[in-house]
């Protein structure tokens, strides 16, 4: 009898062209599917909860696959982890209802962005270093213009043919913390929770919030950018290396 397995994956994005399988490009989906084939001796289609850009990391990325097997979820987890490269790790495997679809069943998705406020070699692959002084209070003021249901066309990069650009942002949290390896280093962690995101939307939103933080634009300018519905009026995106898919909510 066919069973449906939900997996939670952590991965470092720097060696991959995102999650989704692409021709002649190394992706996380392709590596896990190849490993599933190695374990089960058959082609297994893996369904991811959404695309991620090249170099983006995953903390609790959700995927699922259907398969006839007598192996327990724990056995599947251990079998996959024994063969996967060290930059991909299956945190959990559980059997779920056959109707569960990691993408279409998701109600909310959460992304995390990390900014280093001091120079450190430890965060080169995981954070965007900014030498300018950042006004966090103004960034927090600007978030109120992003919360809610809006047409986020101004924050969608070219390269997508999505027709409906309306999305809902439920919450944006900005917190400053000491970096646990080196307490002389301060980091800014920005979590954005939404119904879904357009192509490069999270990186574009963070880019706009940082323009506010650097006091290049005022917080209320964000409202104006949304109303323009045109990408050319929005600030440039931040790099992919500081972005993490944090989790999906079902």
Q: Which of 53, 97, 151, 191 is catalytic?
A: 53
Burial of 119 (0-12, 13-18, 19+ CB in 10 A): exposed
Q: How far apart are CA 223 and CA 7, in angstroms?
A: 38
Of the candidates 157, 190, 150, the one whose C-alpha atom is nearest the C-alpha of residue 171 is 190
Q: What share of the chain is helix, strand, coil (3-state, %, to 5)?
A: 25, 30, 45
DSSP 150-170: EE-GGG--SS---S--EEEEE
Q: Is 53 a catalytic residue?
A: yes
Catalytic residues: 53
């Amino acid at each position: 009898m066919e069973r449906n397995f939900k997996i939670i994956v952590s991965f470092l994005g720097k060696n991959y062209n995102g999650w989704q399988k692409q021709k002649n490009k190394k992706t996380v989906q392709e590596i896990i599917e190849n490993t599933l084939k190695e374990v089960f001796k058959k082609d297994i289609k893996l369904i991811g909860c959404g695309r991620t850009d090249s170099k983006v990391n995953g903390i609790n990325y959700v995927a699922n696959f259907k398969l006839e097997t007598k192996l327990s979820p724990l056995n599947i987890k251990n079998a996959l982890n024994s063969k996967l490269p060290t930059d991909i790790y299956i945190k959990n495997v559980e059997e779920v209802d056959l109707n569960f679809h990691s993408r279409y069943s998701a109600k909310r998705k959460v992304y995390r962005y990390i900014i280093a406020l001091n120079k450190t070699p430890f965060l080169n692959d995981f954070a965007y270093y900014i030498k300018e002084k950042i006004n966090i209070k103004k960034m927090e003021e600007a978030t109120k213009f992003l919360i809610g249901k809006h047409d986020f066309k101004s924050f969608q990069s070219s390269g997508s043919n999505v027709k409906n650009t309306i999305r809902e942002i439920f919450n944006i949290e900005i917190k400053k913390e000491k970096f646990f390896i080196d307490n002389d280093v301060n980091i800014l962690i920005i979590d954005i929770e939404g119904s879904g995101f357009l192509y490069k939307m999270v990186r574009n939103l963070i880019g706009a919030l940082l323009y506010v933080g650097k006091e290049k634009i005022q917080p209320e300018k964000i409202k104006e950018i949304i109303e323009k519905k045109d990408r050319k009026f929005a600030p440039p995106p931040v790099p992919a290396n500081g972005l993490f898919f944090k989790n999906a909510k079902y």
